[in-house]
Structure 1
């Protein structure tokens, strides 16, 4: 990064010599203005669906007092449509726009997102978690968006509950007890029996979907639907979980799911690191109450990425903002302020032995996340992946409840995919 900045600053000085005393440094929309002392000036507009961007902007302005950042936050269910409309019309387009993991591909593979690789961003992500930097790349492999976090997941548990039903609250011991689906099933049967059916080991058989979603091969290759054999095996595992009451039949983010995190009716809840708001911590009553254990496979959920508008008149300042969110400085602040896990592996390493979060007491909670995020495959997003995955969840989920044969499930799944994406080859 230092090398890149040195090159940039040198270029700015050279350009200033050739431009003489030009007064056209600032447009009506507030473009970046860098004086000879390299002061960062100007105004940016950012569109997002994520309220915490306001803190991001405040920290950026604190670092660069002559820069101003206007953040416009829109409801998540309206955001994508609003953004697409302004991009297509070219009117009132923000300099930077946020993108969610579920639909990032359609924007970064369009003409609207600037090529960050051409602006020097490869240096920003060279120490990133592999899958985090890969998700910001277009089909050609160029960086078009960058995130400041990795959104990994793990099993969260109430310590007292774990002692009662698992015999320990030690995160490493619990991680070993559930490091395979076979172990989860056997342990789940025991918990259900010991509690007379009142307590379950996990929330829902759908946890397996979440763990496997990005650890399996992409659904489409060379225009053809491909089903990783792992999904067939996972289907049988999920049927066992469902039929043996290993799970509480509480779907992710349902009302009952949220209650179970707090009341102990589920021992291990597969949680993304950013979901701490689901815990009832009124008057800090959850402090020291929870622990974090590894899941059989590393997984992540969601992710917010930032792109620069290709036609922005403020590209230099916008890139400075991207550079800021990709820095240790911001990601350390974000970790401490929100508990959201960083995108930089170096920030993980810096905090492995020291970072504590009040809710998790003395546990070094970065360890279980760090030990799993490194192994998640680094796949670029594509136009089919998320929607095809959702169709598999729907069809296979119903099949599990109906105790259907996997062959029937696959048949129904292929029909759904073909109806939605007629251009795909489906055997």
Structure 2
């Protein structure tokens, strides 16, 4: 617990990666319409009241509303907690002996830290008896402890690819076909060579990518190198390929200077000067369709040179401090949400979330189908078929969020200081690691 507290209390000060867990109302402890946080279980005839803390209002509000409509004997009270405060709030509740919520939202970048808290039900045991093999192979073990306890079920999967603007792809590469484009970009060097050509042909106006932060996120999550092996954090090995590519992209005018996720960066989705966007499945709704209202038919999705990757995600767990009645009610919700058709359809229709449970993909109509916004491309079939089958996720580390925060810092630095080369960036990152990873038993190299 000491190791987790020392690291994670600092790590969660940054927003980190909200992606794949939604970007709901960020006001700390704002109460949703689903109820208030003050009472964990109350006597209302035969109604069992359970509680939930989360930041993902776009998911939990429609899901809870629909579930309670169908299950009037269960009431779910949701408290909205800012992502940046969430893990700290959980830790503080444990340390003070305060009540934990019945259900906890577990960010994928802190999942290793949640495993060490010891406050979650093992969902492979009675009465839950979840078989992890029912989930996609690349994600089935992420919320599992070393001794085989499953502490949560993923809300959705986050397969990721490269989105592109069809008109600009035709202009600069002569094709907007996703397979033909993927054949042109088979290595990271191809992005640099062809990205330089784009900038030169446009007279310096156009860039292949809009943001070093977006590129860094893609390259980092597409790399299967383990961040931590034993008592060693492999920062240099993990981060060098990312920074080396960013330096080359900067020097060859392949990537623009926008900070990922800002209004200015989001405006580029509708312009004529940026072609490619690293694209987790959730970015289609949150970024592309939200920021390019007139772009229907002009977008495509292609396989990255790195192969498919996973970017984002959260799991939901049940606290072992809850009463048996609360656990039973929470499990009824989770089973409905992730394992039963009604909840699975609700998540798809209300939030565009797709569950990790493989059996639902046996029905082609669940995820597949022509998307007019993407020129009739079968985006779902591509993401949840070809992409999902190619994903490899490294073993989670309790230092994931810390290193991701440092990665984002370096991705901004590489664009703001053209004198920084790869080694200087790695040295800067190692300095940050020394300040943030203070456990004497851990070596950073």
Match of 2:355 in 1: 342
Pair member with larger Rg: 1
Q: Pick from 351, 359, 366: which aligns with 2:373?
A: 359
Counterpart secondary structure, 1:387: helix
- Deviation, 1:253, is 1.0
- The CA distance in 2 between the partners of 1:200 and 1:283, in whole Å, is 18
Match for residue 11 of structure 1? none
Contact kept, 8 Å, 1:217 with 1:228, in 2: the verdict is no
Partner Cα separation in structure 1 for residue 161 and residue 168 of structure 2: 17
Q: 2:262 aligns with which of 247, 254, 270?
A: 254
Change (3 A) 1:247 1:405: closer
Q: In structure 2, what is the equivalent of residue 325 of structure 1?
A: 337
How far off is 1:328 after superposition? Answer: 5.2
Task: Answer whether contact 2:199 2:207 (CA < 8 A) is retained.
Answer: yes
* CA-to-aligned-CA distance 1:182-236 (integer Å, 9 cap, x gap): 2211221221122211111112344443233232322222212324646434433
Q: Is the 8 A contact 2:226 2:395 kept in 1?
A: no
Of residues 253, 272, 278 in structure 2, which corresponds to 1:264?
272
Q: Answer whether contact 1:299 1:372 (CA < 8 A) is retained.
A: yes
Residue 307 of structure 1: aligned partner: 317
Partner of 1:118, secondary structure, is coil
Once the two structures are TM-superposed, the CA of residue 33 in structure 1 deviates from its matched residue by 11
Name the structure 1 match of 2:22: none
Q: Deviations over 1:143-194 (max 9, x none)?
A: 1111121122222223333322332222222233323212211221221122
Q: Are 1:293 and 2:273 an aligned pair?
A: no
Where does residue 6 of structure 1 map in the other structure? none
- Going from structure 1 to structure 2, the CA distance change for 1:158 and 1:122 (only over 3 Å counts) comes to farther
Q: Is the 8 A contact 2:51 2:78 kept in 1?
A: yes
Aligned to 1:7: none
Residues 95, 231 of structure 1: alpha-carbon distance in 2 compared, 3 angstrom cutoff = closer
Say if 2:107 and 2:314, in contact at 8 Å, map to a contact too. yes
Displacement of 1:71: 2.2
Segments of 4+ in structure 1 off by > 6 A?
31-34
Other structure's SS at 1:326 match: helix
Q: Which residue of 2 aligns with 1:383?
A: 398
Cα deviation, residue 308, structure 1: 0.7
**Equivalent residue, structure 2, for 1:420:** 436
**For the Cα contact (< 8 Å) 2:212–2:411, is it kept in 1?**
no
> SS state of the match for residue 415, structure 1?
helix
Matched, 1:49 2:55: yes
The 3 A distance-change label for structure 1 pair 273 and 316 is: same
Give, in angstroms, the shift of residue 358 of structure 1: 4.7
Contact 2:102 2:318 in 1 (8 A): yes
In the TM superposition, what is the alpha-carbon distance from 1:312 to its structure 2 partner? 0.6
Partner of 2:23: none
* In structure 2, C-alpha distance between the alignment counterparts of 1:293 and 1:121, rounded to whole Å: 39
Structure 1 residues 100 and 227, CA gap change in structure 2 (3 angstroms) = closer
Distance of aligned partners of 1:228 and 1:212 in 2 relative to their CA distance in 1, 3 Å threshold: farther
Q: 1:79 to 1:399 in 2, by over 3 A?
A: closer
Would you say 1:197 and 2:209 are equivalent positions?
Answer: no
Query: Conserved in 2, the CA contact under 8 Å of 1:185 and 1:240?
Result: yes
What is the TM-score normalised by the length of structure 2?
Answer: 0.78
* CA deviation profile, 1:1-33 (whole Å, cap 9, x unmatched): xxxxxxxxxxxxxxxxxxxxxxxxxx9925999
Q: Is the 8 A contact 1:149 1:331 kept in 2?
A: no
Distance (Å, rounded) in 2 between the aligned partners of 1:212 and 1:120: 40
| Runs of at least 5 residues in structure 2 that lack an aligned partner in the other structure | 1-38
RMSD of aligned alpha carbons: 3.1
Alignment correspondent of 1:155? 162
Q: Deviation of residue 305 (structure 1)?
A: 1.5
Q: Distance in 2 between matches of 1:31 and 1:300?
A: 43
After superposition, give the CA deviation of every residue in 1:269-297 in whole Å (9 maximum; x if it has no partner): 11222132334659964433422222223
1:3 — aligned with what? none
Cα distance change, pair 260–341 in 1 and its aligned pair in 2 (3 A):
farther
Q: 1:410 to 1:74 in 2, by over 3 A?
A: closer
Is residue 2:190 matched to residue 1:183?
yes
Counterpart CA distance in 2 for 1:69 and 1:97 is 13
Aligned length: 395
Distance in 1 between the 2:390 and 2:290 partners? 32
> Pairwise mapping of residues 275-294 of structure 1 onto structure 2 (< 5 A)?
275=283, 276-279=285-288, 285-294=294-303
